Amino acid sequence: MLFPVLVALVLLATASAHVTLNPNYGAGAGGYYKTSLKIPHGSHMKETTKITVDIPNGILSAVPEALHGWDVTVTTRAINPYISHGNTVNTAPASVTWTATCTGAGAPDTCDNADHAGLDNGHLLELEMQIKLGCDFGVDMAGDATPDATVWMDQHTLWFTTSQWVSTPGSNDGNDESDGNKLSWTGIVEGTESWSAAQPKPSPYVFIYSTGTCTQDSSTGDAAAPQIGMRWGANAEVVPPADNQEAVKSKEEVRSASEASVRISYVEMRERSEHIVLASEPRERHAQTTRVRETLEHISFICNLFSLAKPL
C-alpha cells in the first residue's frame, strides 16, 4: 500500500541532507536485495573519510562495493548455523566500513596518496552493497530482542545505523572516536514517530516484507503443517507472506520516480525563491515569482496523482 502523500513529501524534504539507503523498500525475506548507502555531502570545512554501517540481525550476508580510493572491511557476528550450498555457515555480517585510503609517512595526519578519496561538502557519495535476508529479525543468537527491527508506519523496518567521520581535507585525522569528528546516524523510531526527529540523527532503514520462501516449524509440533512467513522479534511472531507484492513493488517504482521529480522541483523552488530575494529589478522578481508558482503547480499535480492512487 502506498504511503500518504503528506508523509512522503515530509520525508523527501527532510531526507535530502541525511544519510539514507536507496532504494529503501521492496526487500523480501529470504531473498537478495541491492541498495546504496547515500552520503549526501561532507561536513563544513571537512571531508568524510570513514563510514561504518551496522548490519541488522537477520541479514545473512553483505557484499559491499569495492570503490577506488576506499578500503573496505566487514566484521562478523556468530549466528545459529545453517546450511548454504552444502556448507555450514555460522557467521553473518555485523558491520561494513569504508575508509578513505591514506598512505605516507605522516598518515593519518597527512595523506600522500593522490587518490585520497575524502568526500567534500560539494559532492555526493553512494556506496552499493548486496545483502541476503534471512527469515528471523529483531532477535539475536541468544533469542533476545534487538533494537534494529521495529514496526514503523505499519511497515516491518530494518535499521542500518551508521557512523560518519570527518577529517581535515587531505588527511584522515578525524577517524577516531572523538565526538567532534563523528556524526551518529543512529536514531531509531517505531509506531508513528517522526523519522526526521530521531536522535541523535535519523538512521537509514529498509522496509521488508514476508515471503513464502520462509518456512517455520509448526507451533503445534506438526511437521506436516509448517508455518509460512518470516519471524519477527523475540516472541518469534510469524508474519504471513505479503499478498500481491509484485504489484506493490510496481507501484513503488512509479512512486519513486514521482518522488524524484518532486525532489528536483523542491530544489528548483528553493533556488528560485533565493533569486527573488536577491533580485533588484521588479521585472526580474516577477519572472522568478512566476517560475516558483509553476514549480508549486507541478508539485501539486504529483500530489494529486498520489491522492488518486487506490490502495491494493
CATH class label, 19-242: mainly beta
pLDDT at position 57, please?
A: 98
| Span 193-218, average pLDDT | 90
Give the Cα separation of 230 and 104 in Å (integer). 49
Ranking 45-49, 203-207, 220-224 by mean pLDDT, the lowest is 220-224
State the average pLDDT for the chain. 81
pTM for the full predicted model = 0.76
Percentage, residues of the chain above pLDDT 70: 70
